[in-house]
Structure 1
Amino acid sequence: MTSTTTPMNIVVVGHVDHGKSTLVGRLLHETGALPDGKVETLREVCERRGMPFEWAFVMDALQAERDQGITIDTARIRFRTQARPYVIIDAPGHKEFLKNMITGAASAEAALLVIDAAEGVREQSRRHGYLLHLLGLRQVAVAVNKMDLVNFDQARFEEVKAEIVDYLGSIGLSPTHVIPVAARSGANISTRAAETPWYTGPTVLAALDGFAPALPDTDLPLRFPIQDVYKFDHRRLIAGKIESGRLTVGDTLVFAPSGKSARVASLEHWGAGDVSDRADAGRSVAITLDEQIFVERGQIATHADTPPILSHTIAARLFWLGRNPLTVGARYRLKLATAEHTVEVAAIRRVIDVVDLGHHDGIEVGRNAVAEIELRTRAPVAHDSFVDNPRLGRFVLVEGHDIVGGGVIARAEGEQTGATIGSGIIPVDLHARSLANGHRGGVVWLTGLSGAGKSTIAAEVERRLFLRGWQVTILDGDALRLGLNSDLGFSPKDRAENIRRSGEVAHLLAESGLIVLAAFISPYRADRDRVRTINPEAFHEIHVATALAECERRDPKGLYGKARTGAIPQFTGLSAPYEPPETPDLTLATEGRSIEDCVTELLHYIDNTFALTAKEQAERWGL
């Protein structure tokens, strides 16, 4: 077998007390990886403490672990065979330390799942198997350990083998080998055991050597997350670690998600003698660009022909670690490479029982549960699916200062790659805003006499929509009279100009994706029609129809009383005309009705008008 100098990361997982650390300790002994005298020293320590020697003590470096007899932290130990070097990760099996197990497995290329021959496949065995699947590991060997406890019985081995092969197969994993092992004595670790003449497969070490190395990160597309930007002498250095691919002076880079591009003018390395015009994956470097463009932490530098995915939604497989359950609508911080995004849980597609692989729809995900979820962000996120590039396909969720979940990004049909950003500009059109917001933007123009209830209804509708997460704002005629339109009076000419300005502002806000609740008396039909012509499809005229007598009876601001005494000349409805809409989009009669009834009717209209269609919803979620 050809030897290589590139180490392979292997994670060892399994149910607590099934012998993972013992097996790893024995592996190190068999490969000569232990320092001279290490085993003898440990034997002496055990003898002084009056406890039997365990190979697990080679791995269990923490005093607390020796005392408690369980592995708490992940340990990373190096050894090598004739084929290649390894970094082997001994991960905790105890349920309380699953977070540590995930941390270890996340950086592995392959896995060794350990199962006690006497106890068989346990809940935690299944859970760890599923987590390997969740994290994208496809190379898995199984060691059926403690065969000495069942007298190396072939029938028992075949029973355990059938059970774990069936389970792994049901989640899309096919173990490369299932090996009968007695880690305490070293049976089938590096040499075939005389006790298992019926077994014809490889030893544990041979099975590890049979794993295929992962695709070199340099063969993947360039992913250079920006760590920070520094000003040094006259230069502006953009620093970070190349996660995959390679970067060369002269390359034209596109920064996602901004879409801006520039050429690499120089490449800076750390360390004496490190001078080169090229850097490969794994190197931390700084670059300068041939032009000054705005670049910030969290952006991803890529080549234009191999862009990442840009989307406002992320389909993910998640392992939840939070003390409080994950719920739809909850917001967290998503950390992906060097970027942080505020995300909202848009949907829980299914919650998975890792024991029997049953799944069900759910409104929450409890601690140590696995689920498939949808996350939504306001700004587009640059990412890859985990299958395509693990470096940009793995994330964690943070609440406060605690990591509460980790997962991988699934590959979803219909996701938009960054291929459209080669021009340096990502167009942000109404359609993109609608997909980001979950609704279309537009102007809801409430017209009616003073006292009809326009502002009261608008305020409550705004509150209800805001609680849903919709992007909404109010434009109130009285408020604009104090600022933008403070130079205008109440003559017909000034009234027309007041509505013209207000209409322009309303449509500008609507073009940014907002639902604009515009509450204006706007007495003249021609003025309202003029506002409609700015964008007829976005304008919706709502007549808050209340009789003059009722409005005067309400008189919430005392304006009718002042107008009757002549203190307010040209008052609409009394000394100035009001022209009701002839064909409004909705007539909202308020007399004899509660505010709740009026609000409900207007909300129903807004839902029917501005909610996304089923096709748009599918596009939004990448379905």
Structure 2
Amino acid sequence: MNVGPVPKKPVFGREATRQLLRIVIVGHVDHGKSTLVGRLFHDTGSLPEGKLEAIRRMCERRGMPFEWAFLMDAMQAERDQGITIDTSQIWFKTEKRDYTIIDAPGHKEFLKNMITGAAQADAAVLVIDATEGVREQSRRHGYLLHLLGVRQIAVAVNKMDAVAYSEDVFAEIETEYRAYLNSIGVVPTFVVPVSAREGDNIATVSPRMPWYTGPSIVEALDSFALPTAHLDRPLRLPVQDVYKFDDRRIIAGRIESGRLHVGDELVFSPSNKTARVKSIEVWPEPADKDARPQTVGAGQCVGITLDEQLFIERGDIASHLTNAPIETEVFRAKIFWLGREPLTKGKSYKMKLATSEARVSVQEIEHVLDTTDLSSAAMDRVERNQVGEVVLRARRLLALDEHNRNSRTGRFVLIDGYDIAGGGIISMEGYADQRQLVTQRASNITRVEHGVPTELRERKNGHKGGVLWFTGLSGAGKSTLATRLERELFDRGYQAYVLDGDNIRFGLNANLGFSPEERAENIRRVGEVAALFSRAGLVAITAFISPYRSDRDRARAAANERFHEIYIKADVETCEQRDPKGLYRKARAGEIKEFTGVSAPYEAPENPELVIDTTALSIDQAVAELIQYVEKSFRN
């Protein structure tokens, strides 16, 4: 966090006088994206004075024909190679509004820059060459736009002059590409036949295609909706930096969604620190302090001060207490992979989300999707230019949102080494928001020391207290082994008691359902109760699926060194064959939602203290192994 002097004061609170929309231009290499943008600039009078003449003189010096694309291709290497190799952001204007146009490369090797561009866009223009038709890359770009949450898409079928402005050629391309986009849930707003070179249907409708009755590209752009919906969503202010001026500590960032008012109580996630907004800062400072803004909203870069000094870091997300972002260290994601090396299970990458960075590892690769025909398959890696449905795990809690709820804080990129290797969107399907599980609401509390220390209880019992935490799929044999072990231990003089999932839900946790959050709270409560049993000198045997690794980690933290994770191992097929309660049958029939192993995840232990494989051991053999472990670990 930067709290020292800086060379320049940040500019906060600047408001545009005109509407602004961010557009990304994408398409296959040589389909004419840069030509289209250059023509847009010229035909709407948006070119800087002298720019066109300078490009023409350059072409004359080099003895090469003038190309509209040269207005965009600012790099010498681009002119030499004839392809756009990086994203360019330029200002563009029509009579209605201003645009930031992001000209993204279409060459297969430069897809990572296209992802960078599309991730910032509110809408897109996707260019297809009328002479080549829909290509593999055209489908891939359409899927990428869908993956990154761009919902307003205009398709420009370019080079219509090269096909004699044929209505039949255009109709064939439009039908094919609309069908593909519809299959992935994307409805293109417009499909426009154009000739960027000749200026047809760019700024105005062309008389050369009288059979076309839709808008020009400019008219289509002007009809796109502004991202005003972000104002009505919950507040998200990712912290960009913290500056110190005189006695003020100014927290700076761009509001991605929602509104913020002076006096609002904010929570900073994932640290969960709270404070109220004391002021909204602007520069230059108004002579009248009362002239400072009292309200700011989505899209504005702001600086705020708080009513108390908190240690806030870059990457924290400020929100209101209600509708705060999710806190989790594990989530599902759809990732478009661009790395030189394939994405593989167990490998670690740097994730960038808003202004935060965190290390994440690939816990599971669930499916790999072919973007050309939308088929999926189970694979152990995601190759370059493939889409993977994966589970990612971080080393700490992250603040984020599901992409379908807030695209601004629900999409991310992965870095492999120093290169952008992939972009993705977040889903929490099957996983719990852990915010409530890590938030302590009670204050002014002190742990009570008991009159009988745990050591004396253990000495009298003749064994140590502890938690035997049985985890595994439904049908693996947890409850059967737990009750048999309880009886065997009792007969051997142990003070042991079983906490079983069904029995706990009859009483202590009768108010909890089976959503990911309620299942996590169920395990949190059981973990705390089991820890109390262990401090009373008893052997607490728990029999719970407890599918989430983070929940079991919290139970371990509650009991500390007294916690023993026992993995009752059996695969889904074996458990389904046993199915003592008929639950798998109901889950397959859709009668039970979020059923572990079928429609909800199970995260197997990584390093359990003991593994009991019930597919290979009989009940007697399994109990014998458990008794041997308890005698070794618990007997004084």
TM-score, normalised via structure 2 length: 0.67
1:284 is matched with 302
Q: Give the superposition deviation at 1:47.
A: 2.0
CA distance in 1 between partners of 2:357 and 2:101 (Å): 30
1:158 is paired with a residue of what secondary structure?
helix
1:586 is matched with none
Q: 1:167 aligns with which of 168, 180, 188?
A: 180
Q: 2:170 aligns with which of 151, 157, 175?
A: 157
1:455 is matched with none
State whether residues 305 and 419 of structure 1, in contact with CA within 8 Å, keep that contact through their aligned partners in structure 2.
no
State whether residues 21 and 56 of structure 1, in contact with CA within 8 Å, keep that contact through their aligned partners in structure 2.
yes
Check 1:497–1:268 CA distance in 2 against 1; reply closer, same or farther (3 A cut).
Answer: farther
Q: Give the superposition deviation at 1:236.
A: 5.8
CA distance in 1 between partners of 2:158 and 2:317 (Å): 45
Q: Does 1:47 align with 2:60?
A: yes
1:606 is matched with 566
1:534 is paired with a residue of what secondary structure?
coil
Check 1:76–1:335 CA distance in 2 against 1; reply closer, same or farther (3 A cut).
Answer: closer
Q: Deviations over 1:159-184 (max 9, x none)?
A: 11111111111111111221111111
Q: Which amino acid aligns with 2:57?
A: E
2:218 is matched with 205
Bigger mean CA deviation after superposition, 86-95 or 371-380: 371-380
CA distance in 2 between partners of 1:268 and 1:621 (Å): 48
CA distance in 2 between partners of 1:378 and 1:498 (Å): 39
Q: Which amino acid aligns with 1:536?
A: V
CA distance in 2 between partners of 1:197 and 1:38 (Å): 33
State whether residues 333 and 342 of structure 1, in contact with CA within 8 Å, keep that contact through their aligned partners in structure 2.
yes
Q: Does 1:394 align with 2:411?
A: yes
2:84 is matched with 71
Q: Which amino acid aligns with 1:285?
A: G
CA distance in 1 between partners of 2:442 and 2:133 (Å): 58
Q: Return the index of the structure with the highest Cα Rg.
A: 1
CA distance in 2 between partners of 1:61 and 1:404 (Å): 25
Q: Give the superposition deviation at 1:277.
A: 4.3
CA distance in 2 between partners of 1:181 and 1:234 (Å): 58
CA distance in 2 between partners of 1:253 and 1:60 (Å): 44
Q: Deviations over 1:174-197 (max 9, x none)?
A: 112211111111111122222211
Q: Give the superposition deviation at 1:328.
A: 1.7
State whether residues 112 and 140 of structure 1, in contact with CA within 8 Å, keep that contact through their aligned partners in structure 2.
yes
Bigger mean CA deviation after superposition, 57-66 or 224-233: 224-233
Q: Deviations over 1:233-264 (max 9, x none)?
A: 76665554433223333211223234343333
Equivalent residue runs for 1:571-586 within 5 Å: none
1:331 is matched with 348
Q: Give the superposition deviation at 1:21.
A: 0.6
Q: Does 1:58 align with 2:18?
A: no
Q: Does 1:137 align with 2:150?
A: yes
CA distance in 1 between partners of 2:28 and 2:339 (Å): 21
Q: Deviations over 1:203-231 (max 9, x none)?
A: 11111111111125433211123345567
CA distance in 2 between partners of 1:280 and 1:422 (Å): 28
Equivalent residue runs for 1:300-379 within 5 Å: 300-379=317-396
CA distance in 1 between partners of 2:437 and 2:541 (Å): 27
State whether residues 343 and 376 of structure 1, in contact with CA within 8 Å, keep that contact through their aligned partners in structure 2.
yes
Bigger mean CA deviation after superposition, 384-393 or 53-62: 384-393
Q: Deviations over 1:322-358 (max 9, x none)?
A: 2111112222232222333332212222211122222
1:95 is matched with 108
Check 1:346–1:387 CA distance in 2 against 1; reply closer, same or farther (3 A cut).
Answer: same
Equivalent residue runs for 1:228-307 within 5 Å: 228=241, 238-273=251-286, 275-281=292-298, 282-290=300-308, 295-307=312-324
Q: Give the superposition deviation at 1:123.
A: 1.3
1:608 is paired with a residue of what secondary structure?
strand
Q: Which amino acid aligns with 2:537?
A: I
Equivalent residue runs for 1:78-89 within 5 Å: 78-89=91-102
CA distance in 1 between partners of 2:256 and 2:431 (Å): 25
Check 1:29–1:256 CA distance in 2 against 1; reply closer, same or farther (3 A cut).
Answer: same
Q: Deviations over 1:455-482 (max 9, x none)?
A: xxxxxxxxxxxxxxxxxxxxxxxxxxxx
CA distance in 1 between partners of 2:495 and 2:540 (Å): 14
CA distance in 1 between partners of 2:250 and 2:144 (Å): 39
1:223 is matched with 236
Check 1:621–1:222 CA distance in 2 against 1; reply closer, same or farther (3 A cut).
Answer: farther
Q: Give the superposition deviation at 1:125.
A: 1.1
Q: Give the superposition deviation at 1:418.
A: 4.8
CA distance in 2 between partners of 1:218 and 1:352 (Å): 34
State whether residues 243 and 391 of structure 1, in contact with CA within 8 Å, keep that contact through their aligned partners in structure 2.
yes
Q: Which amino acid aligns with 2:148?
A: L
Q: 1:121 aligns with which of 134, 137, 159?
A: 134
Check 1:510–1:21 CA distance in 2 against 1; reply closer, same or farther (3 A cut).
Answer: same
How many residues end up aligned between the 2 structures?
Answer: 476
Q: Give the superposition deviation at 1:279.
A: 3.8
1:57 is paired with a residue of what secondary structure?
helix
Q: Which amino acid aligns with 2:566?
A: I
CA distance in 2 between partners of 1:116 and 1:228 (Å): 44
Q: Give the superposition deviation at 1:383.
A: 1.0
Bigger mean CA deviation after superposition, 18-27 or 152-161: 152-161
1:552 is matched with none
State whether residues 258 and 425 of structure 1, in contact with CA within 8 Å, keep that contact through their aligned partners in structure 2.
no
CA distance in 2 between partners of 1:178 and 1:353 (Å): 25
Q: Which amino acid aligns with 2:539?
A: P
Bigger mean CA deviation after superposition, 226-235 or 190-199: 226-235
Q: 1:110 aligns with which of 117, 123, 138?
A: 123
Q: Which amino acid aligns with 1:162?
A: T
Q: Which amino acid aligns with 1:194?
A: P
Q: Deviations over 1:551-600 (max 9, x none)?
A: xxxxxxxxxxxxxxxxxxxxxxxxxxxxxxxxxxxxxxxxxxxxxxxxxx
State whether residues 226 and 240 of structure 1, in contact with CA within 8 Å, keep that contact through their aligned partners in structure 2.
yes
2:425 is paired with a residue of what secondary structure?
strand
State whether residues 4 and 85 of structure 1, in contact with CA within 8 Å, keep that contact through their aligned partners in structure 2.
no
Q: Give the superposition deviation at 1:278.
A: 3.9
CA distance in 2 between partners of 1:7 and 1:392 (Å): 20
2:412 is paired with a residue of what secondary structure?
strand
Q: Give the superposition deviation at 1:538.
A: 3.7
State whether residues 351 and 362 of structure 1, in contact with CA within 8 Å, keep that contact through their aligned partners in structure 2.
yes
Could you say what the CA RMSD is over the residues aligned between the two structures, in angstroms? 3.7
1:20 is matched with 33
Q: Give the superposition deviation at 1:527.
A: 7.8
Q: Which sections of structure 1, spanning at least 5 residues, go unmatched? A: 427-487, 512-523, 541-604
Q: 2:196 aligns with which of 179, 183, 186?
A: 183
1:549 is matched with none
CA distance in 1 between partners of 2:359 and 2:370 (Å): 28
CA distance in 2 between partners of 1:420 and 1:332 (Å): 27
Q: Give the superposition deviation at 1:153.
A: 1.4
Q: Deviations over 1:528-563 (max 9, x none)?
A: 8797963433489xxxxxxxxxxxxxxxxxxxxxxx
Q: Does 1:536 align with 2:549?
A: no
1:397 is paired with a residue of what secondary structure?
strand
CA distance in 2 between partners of 1:321 and 1:383 (Å): 23
CA distance in 1 between partners of 2:102 and 2:91 (Å): 9
State whether residues 457 and 537 of structure 2, in contact with CA within 8 Å, keep that contact through their aligned partners in structure 1.
no
Q: Which amino acid aligns with 1:124?
A: Q
State whether residues 364 and 392 of structure 2, in contact with CA within 8 Å, keep that contact through their aligned partners in structure 1.
yes
Q: Which amino acid aligns with 2:306?
A: T
State whether residues 99 and 321 of structure 1, in contact with CA within 8 Å, keep that contact through their aligned partners in structure 2.
yes
